Amino acid sequence: MKAVWPLFLSLVAGTALAGGVYWGISRGGAGGMPHGEAAALVDVEAVKIAKFEERTEALGTVKARESVTLTSTVTELVDKIYFQEGQQVKKGELLVSLEQTEEQAALHQAELSVAEENRLYLISKRLYEKRAVAQTDYEKQLYAHRLAVSKYDSALASVQKRNITAPFAGQVGIRQVSPGTLVSPGTAITTLDDLTVVKVSFTLPEVFLAGIRQGEAVEARCAAYPSRRFHGRVTVIDSRVDSETRAVTILAEFANADGVLRPGMLMSLDVIGSSRQSPALPEKALLAYGTRHYVFVVKPDRTVVKTAVEIGQRNFGTAEVLSGVKTGDLVVSEGVGKIVDGQKVTLNPTSSPVQAVGTDKVSAGPSRQS
């Protein structure tokens, strides 16, 4: 009998506790929240129209618009170097001269020969016009004059081969020779790059070929300047698709007035295609369950309704809405984790555009456009 008495007391206490819990739940209503407790404070944003663009991602490599490695065409000693490494030079500017003492002497001799033959030619021409000399004598002097001019041109070309000039305006690189260095045809002297405009070469699978057009906008980023965006245009689409990779090579040009883009840099690219205006909401408002998405829509009586939405493209924190909500609907953007379907909420007055909710108005906060 003594053993039964403690068991009886335990059953009575358990029954009282269960009754108290049931009474509390029935008083609190849905979710167990007691009457009079403040509703959850949430931020809201209105569904608005935003611009969405079709973007194709790729990786590319920067190339100079014009690039050349300057070399010698003759075997000779380096005489003088006229440029500084990294210097901007003009087209035709003298960069390096090779030893040319003999060539200059030959050029001077050719100049004297041309002057003399030209003098004799003019005399012969006047005499021939007066019929004072035979035509054959006049033609011999004309030939001698032309031969002297040809020898002068040859001597001048020999000198010019020993003067290495910039074929276009650009920036010279690191020099590979010093005065006194013996260079031969093909010896690298320095590089020259036109970086005022750069090209970015990239490839895309052939399945994207139909959607890429010459002149389309390209947005690029690089590791050296992570917060900066570079804007260019597609200029060339190769006429052939690589038979092994099934990819096509594309070139885009970017203005580079400040010279920050250098040949060889890796760029992340977005080729921007067609654009459209669609309803949009902040991505942080979305609840994802597998492949399905939901948002909490705030009704005029300040209750929230869990609503299924179909999402399209995403762009910088904004999601395109294909169906489920319409422009102007208020959705919960902050606090989605602390509310349930049908619950009443309190709106943060600084979180949304001015809009009537019941008899209240929500004050305007900063707006963002994608």
pLDDT in tens, 95-132: 999 999 999 999 999 999 999 999 999 999 999 898 88
**CA atoms within 13 A of residue 331's CA, in its CB half-sphere:** 27
**What percent of the chain shows pLDDT beyond 90?**
66
Q: Are strands 345-347 and 40-46 parallel, antiparallel or unpaired?
A: parallel
Token representation of residue 240: 């052939």
Compute the average pLDDT of residues 176-196: 95
Return the pLDDT at 93. Answer: 96
Sheet holding 163-165, edge to edge: 163-165, 94-98, 76-81, 182-183
Supply the pTM of this predicted model: 0.61
Under 8 Å between Cβ of 60 and 201 = yes
The H-or-E segment that residue 154 falls in is helix 135-160
Per-residue pLDDT reduced to its tens digit, 325-351: 999 999 999 888 889 999 999 888 776
Measured between alpha carbons, how far is 53 from 315 in angstroms, rounded to an integer?
8
Per-residue pLDDT reduced to its tens digit, 29-70: 334 444 444 678 899 999 998 888 778 899 999 999 999 999
Domains along the sequence of the chain with CATH = 55-65+194-275 (2.40.30.170), 73-98+164-185 (2.40.50.100), 100-161 (1.10.287)
Measured between alpha carbons, how far is 170 from 366 in angstroms, rounded to an integer?
46
Kindly report the backbone phi and psi dihedral angles of residue 74, in degrees, each rounded to the nearest multiple of 5, phi listed first: -135, 165
